[in-house]
Structure 1
Amino acid sequence: MRDPRLLAKPPVTRLGCLVFVRNRRGDVLLVNPDYMDGLILPGGAANTNEPPHRAAARHLHAETGLNLRLTHLLAVDFTPADRYLERLNLVFDGGTVRDDTPLTVPPQHRSGLLGARFVPVRELPDVMAPAQVARVTEALANRTLPVLLHGQRTA
């Protein structure tokens, strides 16, 4: 049974869908957005009613050219409002790719990105904001959790 009170005014949800990808050397894939300082994990916001794992895969492909199947989560990070609205960030496990995997970054005027590259873990504090480094460090340390869609594992 649907309770109309629950759907009358649903809360605004800002959901960040990020992807953690490493190469065989263990370096972490990061993108360099022109709209903020430092490198970040590839990803972006989910559209209305878009499953988060699909949003993450869509952004990863658009930003780097990589097509990866995302079936597990590594971290969930709530970011309170400061410069940006508050949001819940989901970090998906993109797995490991070959060291020579080509990356295709669209032109800056279309993507807002200055580039993408794999960064050694020891260099992350030098190229990322502290909160971003903490997010990646947690993703490195944690085991994966399955992504469910209506109670079923994603295919």
Structure 2
Amino acid sequence: MRDPRSPAEPPVCRLGCLVLLRDLSGHVLLVDPDHLDGHLLPGGAAERDEPPQLAAARHLHAQTGLHRRPNQLLAVDFTPADRHAERLTLVFDGGMATDRDARRLTVPPRDRSGLHGARFADPAHLSTLMSPAQNARVQQALATLGRALPLLAHGQRAA
């Protein structure tokens, strides 16, 4: 029997999962997608029932070759529906990249990745590289560093 409190058609909401990764000088890792004007934090959409931190890690690795297991949430950004369904975007703390990480940064060919490339950029110059909304999201996440929210799954700290 259907629970009368549950809507017949639950709302659809996409879940974006991004990683804020900085180098030792505080520059932020950005990717340059071929389908948008401007740079973004690495990441992408979670698949059905995929934990968001694992989606963020999966996209980071696919886009840059870097491995991270983020478990601290820096920002949650709601985007109302436009030509796509409404979206929640979660920004995770990817920590600091070492010089070795920077040397290992590998972007797959554009025909496979949809990316022109990736680079570390000075936070003071992000407004020239990103859309205003993307820049604001990154600046808010940077302001939250050191005060991140724990990530929970069913009330327990996510691994």
TM-score with structure 1 length normalisation? 0.93
Q: Secondary structure at the match of 1:115?
A: strand
Structure 1 runs not aligned, ≥5 long: none
- Aligned pairs (5 A) from 1:6-155: 6=6, 8-101=8-101, 102-142=104-144, 143-155=147-159
How far is the alpha carbon of 1:83 from its aligned partner? 4.8
How far is the alpha carbon of 1:66 from its aligned partner? 0.9
How many corresponding residue pairs?
154
1:103-131 Cα deviation digits (max 9, x unpaired): 11111001100001100111111111110
Structure 2 runs not aligned, ≥5 long: none
1:125-147 Cα deviation digits (max 9, x unpaired): 11111101100000010120011
Residues 12, 86 of structure 2: 8 Å contact kept: no
What is the alpha-carbon root mean square deviation over aligned residues? 1.6
Q: Distance in 1 between matches of 2:21 and 2:77?
A: 17
TM-score with structure 2 length normalisation? 0.91
Letter of the 1:149 counterpart: A
> Higher mean Cα deviation, 23-32 or 75-84?
75-84
Q: Distance in 1 between matches of 2:132 and 2:124?
A: 13
How far is the alpha carbon of 1:9 from its aligned partner? 2.5
Q: Secondary structure at the match of 2:95?
A: strand
Letter of the 2:86 counterpart: E
Q: Secondary structure at the match of 1:137?
A: helix
Q: Secondary structure at the match of 1:32?
A: strand
How far is the alpha carbon of 1:3 from its aligned partner? 3.2
Structure 1 runs (4+) greater than 3 angstroms displaced: 2-5, 82-85
Q: Secondary structure at the match of 2:58?
A: helix
Q: Distance in 2 between matches of 1:127 and 1:52?
A: 26
